[in-house]
Chains A and B, each alone.
Chain A
Amino acid sequence: MPLFYIILSFFILKGLLTWPFYYKLNWKPLAIGFLLALAEAPFLTLLYQDTEINFWIPFFFLFVFDAAVCFLLLQKLWWKAIIVSILFNCIGFVLFILLNS
């Protein structure tokens, strides 16, 4: 999966689709979503292609990491952070595995 497409698809998930949850913060969710995509998408691709790690482990850590980012950098609402994290990480992982298989 080329880098551009994987970052773009992660940005659509974690930036554009997250934006309605935090629409009062204007452009900030988009920027955070882009940074999350930039950090996580190449990292996951490297893990998937170079190692034989069980992807439940990165899934769990990314779920916690995304929830922490949404809670600490966007809005101090833990339930909203967890919902966003679960929802888009589930979609993101299915998408990632399908695109890389």
Chain B
Amino acid sequence: MKRFLLLSLLLLAGLTIFADAGINIQRQHARVIFSFSGISNLQGYKLIQTHVGYYAKEDDKRPYARLGTIINDDDHTINIQEGGKNWDESDRDIYLSLVDSLTGKTVDSFEYFAKDYSIHFKIAGVKDGRMQYRTDSTRAVYQYLLLNGEGDNAAAFRRNRLIFIACSAVGFMLLIGLFVRNKNKNSK
């Protein structure tokens, strides 16, 4: 009984060490990046990222503040970094507005939820007051250079993965072999 209690205590201590350390034992997500191309096709219009929120600035006493960032070149990116355990999901909403440069009125607006996928906007132009665009999305995860990769080294990464699988399979097979050998020896 004493031994059982001691072992339970040891197991609990191990688990609490993990929990207290706050180690996230899950593959980490990379930041979500919104990128743009073809901004120059928006002649006479401006694409604006609208920030919506309460009291965006300390000296702003209005109950509801609206601010915007003009997206005026193709290098502009919007980065959303994962904020850990207490990440506020509402912070991931991205509002984009298409504004007429002359009148200053919003003619089109979009809302995207920035989670798990990075989005590249390919803007073709404006037609009938609507922005014409396509989006390409890619998973926002860290690319580990050991197993995952594209392009010229794709064959090397495939070979690496195969070596990992082969090593693991050999290890498990040998252990199973030892189990079987042990069982046969005991049964004789």
Which residues of chain A have a CB within 8 Å of any CB of chain B? 1-3, 7, 32, 35-43, 45-46, 48-56, 59, 69, 72-73, 79, 82-83, 86-87, 89-90, 93-94, 97, 100-101
Contact = CB atoms under 8 A, between A and B. Distances in A.
B89 to A, nearest CB: 18
Nearest to B175: A35
Contacts, number: 102
B133 interface: no
Given A39-B171, A73-B175, A86-B7, 20 more contacts: A3-B163, A7-B167, A36-B171, A37-B171, A39-B168, A39-B172, A41-B168, A42-B165, A43-B168, A45-B146, A46-B147, A48-B27, A53-B27, A55-B26, A72-B179, A73-B179, A79-B7, A83-B7, A87-B10, A97-B25
6 contacts: A3-B163, A7-B167, A45-B146, A55-B25, A73-B182, A89-B14
Q: Which 8 A-B pairs have the closest CB atoms?
A: A39-B171, A38-B171, A55-B25, A42-B164, A43-B168, A42-B168, A49-B144, A90-B14
Q: Is the interface of A mostly helix, strand, loop or mixed?
A: helix
B170 interface: yes
Interface of B: 3, 7, 10-11, 14, 17-18, 21, 23, 25-28, 141, 144, 146-148, 160-161, 163-165, 167-168, 170-172, 174-175, 178-179, 182
Contact of B148 (A38, A49, A83): A49
B168 A94 contact: no
Q: Is the interface of B mostly helix, strand, loop or mixed?
A: helix
A34 to B, nearest CB: 9
Given A3-B164, A79-B3, A93 B171 contact: no
Contacts of B171: 35-40, 42
